[in-house]
Amino acid sequence: MALKRYLFAIVLALLLGFLVADAASAQQPTPSDDQVNAIAKQLYCPVCENIPLDVCPTTACAQWRELIRQKLTEGWNEQQIKDYFVQQYGARVIGTPPPSGINWLVYLVPPVAILAGVYILYRAFRSWKRPLAEVDIQPTSLEPPAETDTAQDEYIRRMEEEVRKR
Protein backbone atom coordinates (compact mmCIF):
# COMPACT_ATOMS: atom_id res chain seq x y z
CA MET A 1 0.00 0.00 0.00
CA ALA A 2 2.86 2.38 0.79
CA LEU A 3 4.43 1.56 -2.55
CA LYS A 4 1.19 2.47 -4.37
CA ARG A 5 1.00 5.79 -2.56
CA TYR A 6 4.63 6.47 -3.37
CA LEU A 7 4.11 5.73 -7.10
CA PHE A 8 0.88 7.76 -7.09
CA ALA A 9 2.71 10.74 -5.55
CA ILE A 10 5.51 10.49 -8.16
CA VAL A 11 3.05 10.30 -11.07
CA LEU A 12 1.02 13.19 -9.63
CA ALA A 13 4.17 15.30 -9.19
CA LEU A 14 5.26 14.60 -12.77
CA LEU A 15 1.84 15.51 -14.14
CA LEU A 16 1.75 18.73 -12.17
CA GLY A 17 5.29 19.53 -13.32
CA PHE A 18 4.32 19.01 -16.97
CA LEU A 19 1.19 21.13 -16.57
CA VAL A 20 3.10 23.99 -14.95
CA ALA A 21 5.85 23.83 -17.59
CA ASP A 22 3.27 23.72 -20.40
CA ALA A 23 1.38 26.67 -18.92
CA ALA A 24 4.61 28.66 -18.56
CA SER A 25 5.63 27.99 -22.14
CA ALA A 26 2.14 28.79 -23.45
CA GLN A 27 2.18 32.17 -21.72
CA GLN A 28 4.98 33.66 -23.80
CA PRO A 29 4.66 37.41 -23.91
CA THR A 30 2.74 38.70 -26.91
CA PRO A 31 4.90 41.00 -29.03
CA SER A 32 4.00 44.66 -28.69
CA ASP A 33 2.81 46.81 -31.56
CA ASP A 34 6.17 48.57 -31.52
CA GLN A 35 7.99 45.28 -32.09
CA VAL A 36 5.64 44.35 -34.93
CA ASN A 37 5.87 47.82 -36.51
CA ALA A 38 9.66 47.82 -36.27
CA ILE A 39 9.67 44.91 -38.70
CA ALA A 40 6.63 46.04 -40.72
CA LYS A 41 8.32 49.42 -41.30
CA GLN A 42 11.07 47.65 -43.24
CA LEU A 43 8.60 45.76 -45.46
CA TYR A 44 6.39 47.15 -48.21
CA CYS A 45 2.85 46.13 -48.97
CA PRO A 46 2.81 43.53 -51.77
CA VAL A 47 -0.58 44.82 -52.96
CA CYS A 48 -0.18 48.61 -52.70
CA GLU A 49 2.67 50.41 -54.44
CA ASN A 50 5.39 52.03 -52.30
CA ILE A 51 3.48 51.96 -49.00
CA PRO A 52 5.26 50.57 -45.94
CA LEU A 53 3.45 47.69 -44.28
CA ASP A 54 3.23 49.47 -40.92
CA VAL A 55 1.05 52.33 -42.27
CA CYS A 56 -0.92 50.58 -45.01
CA PRO A 57 -4.65 50.74 -44.19
CA THR A 58 -5.75 47.69 -46.20
CA THR A 59 -7.15 44.55 -44.60
CA ALA A 60 -4.42 42.46 -46.23
CA CYS A 61 -1.72 44.54 -44.51
CA ALA A 62 -3.48 44.16 -41.16
CA GLN A 63 -3.41 40.41 -41.71
CA TRP A 64 0.30 40.54 -42.61
CA ARG A 65 1.04 42.52 -39.43
CA GLU A 66 -0.79 39.84 -37.45
CA LEU A 67 1.29 37.23 -39.27
CA ILE A 68 4.43 39.10 -38.15
CA ARG A 69 3.08 39.10 -34.58
CA GLN A 70 2.42 35.35 -34.82
CA LYS A 71 5.91 34.65 -36.17
CA LEU A 72 7.46 36.72 -33.35
CA THR A 73 5.40 34.77 -30.81
CA GLU A 74 6.69 31.52 -32.34
CA GLY A 75 10.24 32.75 -31.76
CA TRP A 76 11.21 33.85 -35.27
CA ASN A 77 13.75 36.66 -35.52
CA GLU A 78 13.58 39.72 -37.76
CA GLN A 79 15.70 38.28 -40.57
CA GLN A 80 13.69 35.06 -40.70
CA ILE A 81 10.46 37.05 -41.03
CA LYS A 82 11.92 39.20 -43.82
CA ASP A 83 13.15 36.09 -45.62
CA TYR A 84 9.69 34.55 -45.28
CA PHE A 85 8.04 37.60 -46.87
CA VAL A 86 10.63 37.73 -49.67
CA GLN A 87 10.06 34.03 -50.35
CA GLN A 88 6.27 34.53 -50.43
CA TYR A 89 6.01 37.86 -52.31
CA GLY A 90 9.36 38.53 -53.96
CA ALA A 91 12.17 41.01 -53.36
CA ARG A 92 9.88 44.00 -53.95
CA VAL A 93 8.53 43.74 -50.38
CA ILE A 94 11.81 44.74 -48.76
CA GLY A 95 12.76 48.41 -48.57
CA THR A 96 16.31 48.03 -49.87
CA PRO A 97 17.13 45.92 -52.90
CA PRO A 98 19.40 42.94 -52.27
CA PRO A 99 22.96 43.58 -53.51
CA SER A 100 22.87 40.99 -56.26
CA GLY A 101 22.60 41.13 -60.01
CA ILE A 102 22.18 44.63 -61.41
CA ASN A 103 20.99 45.91 -58.02
CA TRP A 104 24.62 46.35 -56.90
CA LEU A 105 24.68 49.50 -59.06
CA VAL A 106 22.29 51.12 -56.57
CA TYR A 107 25.04 50.86 -53.97
CA LEU A 108 27.96 51.73 -56.25
CA VAL A 109 26.83 54.62 -58.50
CA PRO A 110 25.90 57.27 -55.87
CA PRO A 111 29.26 57.23 -54.03
CA VAL A 112 31.16 57.28 -57.33
CA ALA A 113 29.04 60.21 -58.58
CA ILE A 114 29.59 62.14 -55.35
CA LEU A 115 33.36 61.59 -55.49
CA ALA A 116 33.46 62.69 -59.14
CA GLY A 117 31.47 65.84 -58.31
CA VAL A 118 33.79 66.69 -55.42
CA TYR A 119 36.82 66.24 -57.68
CA ILE A 120 35.32 68.48 -60.40
CA LEU A 121 34.47 71.19 -57.84
CA TYR A 122 37.97 70.98 -56.37
CA ARG A 123 39.53 71.45 -59.81
CA ALA A 124 37.18 74.35 -60.63
CA PHE A 125 37.85 76.19 -57.35
CA ARG A 126 41.57 75.65 -57.75
CA SER A 127 41.57 77.11 -61.26
CA TRP A 128 39.50 80.12 -60.14
CA LYS A 129 41.99 80.98 -57.41
CA ARG A 130 45.08 80.95 -59.65
CA PRO A 131 46.58 84.37 -60.46
CA LEU A 132 46.39 85.58 -64.06
CA ALA A 133 50.14 85.11 -64.57
CA GLU A 134 49.73 81.34 -64.09
CA VAL A 135 46.80 81.12 -66.45
CA ASP A 136 48.98 81.92 -69.50
CA ILE A 137 46.98 84.93 -70.69
CA GLN A 138 49.07 87.43 -72.66
CA PRO A 139 48.59 91.00 -71.51
CA THR A 140 47.14 93.22 -74.22
CA SER A 141 48.96 96.40 -75.12
CA LEU A 142 47.12 99.64 -75.63
CA GLU A 143 49.13 100.62 -78.70
CA PRO A 144 47.88 99.51 -82.08
CA PRO A 145 50.11 97.08 -83.88
CA ALA A 146 52.63 98.57 -86.23
CA GLU A 147 51.44 98.35 -89.80
CA THR A 148 53.80 97.87 -92.64
CA ASP A 149 51.39 98.65 -95.44
CA THR A 150 52.29 102.09 -96.83
CA ALA A 151 48.96 102.49 -98.64
CA GLN A 152 47.17 102.08 -95.34
CA ASP A 153 49.46 104.64 -93.73
CA GLU A 154 48.70 107.17 -96.47
CA TYR A 155 44.96 106.66 -96.02
CA ILE A 156 45.19 107.22 -92.26
CA ARG A 157 47.28 110.37 -92.74
CA ARG A 158 44.72 111.89 -95.12
CA MET A 159 41.85 111.00 -92.76
CA GLU A 160 43.60 112.75 -89.87
CA GLU A 161 44.13 115.86 -92.01
CA GLU A 162 40.45 115.98 -92.91
CA VAL A 163 39.43 115.63 -89.28
CA ARG A 164 41.74 118.46 -88.22
CA LYS A 165 40.28 120.82 -90.83
CA ARG A 166 36.86 120.71 -89.33
Instruction: Indicate whether 116 pLDDT > 90.
Output: yes
> What gap in Å lies between CA 55 and CA 26, rounded to an integer?
30
Indicate whether 31 pLDDT > 90.
no
Q: Which range is least confidently modeled, 37-41, 81-85, 88-92?
A: 88-92
C-alpha to C-alpha distance for 107 and 139, rounded to whole angstroms: 50
Q: Distance of alpha carbon 91 from its chain centroid, rounded?
A: 16
Q: How confident is the model at residue 113 (pLDDT cuts 50, 70, 90)?
A: very high
Maximal C-alpha separation, the chain = 156
pTM tops 0.75, yes or no? no
Q: What is the DSSP letter of 130?
A: S
The one-letter amino acid code at 123 reads R
Sequence-ordered list of residues with C-beta below 8 angstroms from that of 106, at least 6 positions apart, any chain? 97, 99
What CA–CA distances, in Å, run from 84 to 125, 152, 166?
52, 92, 101
pLDDT score at 108: 86
| Strand, coil or helix: 45 | coil
How confident is the model at residue 51, as a pLDDT? 84
